[in-house]
Amino acid sequence: MIYNMVHNEQDAWDLAQDGFLKAWKSIGRFRGQSAFYTWLYRIMMNVTIDSLRRRQVGGETEFDDTIALRNIDPNSLTTPKTGLLPHEKVAGDEIRARIDAAIDRLTPEHRAVILMREMEGLDYQEIADALDCSIGTVMSRLFYARKKMQTMLRDVYENL
């Protein structure tokens, strides 16, 4: 989840460590009203969102041009692949890169709900518990995140 939010392995490890440290320091406040997983997930999500907000305030951009480079398979030149034709794979990779870039342009709150719902398959209640908000808030954030994505990717889905 953290890596999907920040797209940087080292930052993800640092944030995970910060989150676990925060959880360890506050374990005495865990009341058992929710599952331990949900409690820990909420801490990790909050640490990540706080980090992204600090990065935005600092003036850093949400775009990372190196994201597409991570999709390169180092074995692709030596290992024959079955499946998609080269032009189909390139088109799919380009679309995936555009989707990733659009997700990165979302606010941390919108990015979190999109990733939790679409990538991790969490239901609305699990997302609400993890973010410590109402289901209505989750639904609203998902609606607006999808609307923004639809606007940013209009040319992609109109040409499919």
Q: What angle do CA 44, 7, 121 make, to 5 degrees?
A: 60
Cα 122 to Cα 127: distance, rounded to the nearest angstrom: 6
Mean pLDDT, to the nearest integer, of 18-46? 88
Least confident of 55-59, 97-101, 114-118: 55-59
The alpha-helical segments, DSSP class H, found in the chain are 2-6, 9-25, 36-57, 86-105, 108-114, 124-131, 135-152, 154-158
At 61 the three-state DSSP class reads coil
Cα 112 to Cα 50: distance, rounded to the nearest angstrom: 12
At 30 the three-state DSSP class reads coil
CATH number of 2-65+83-158: 1.10.10.10
pLDDT at residue 110 greater than cutoff 90 = yes
pTM here?
0.53
Give the CB-side neighbour count of residue 87, counting CA atoms within 13 A.
Answer: 0
Mean pLDDT, to the nearest integer, of 119-131? 89
The full set of domain ranges for the chain reads 2-65+83-158
pLDDT, tens only, 66-109: 444 455 555 555 444 455 566 666 667 788 888 888 888 999 99
Mean pLDDT, to the nearest integer, of 36-42? 87
Q: Compute CA 73 distance to the chain's CA centroid, rounded to the nearest angstrom.
A: 22
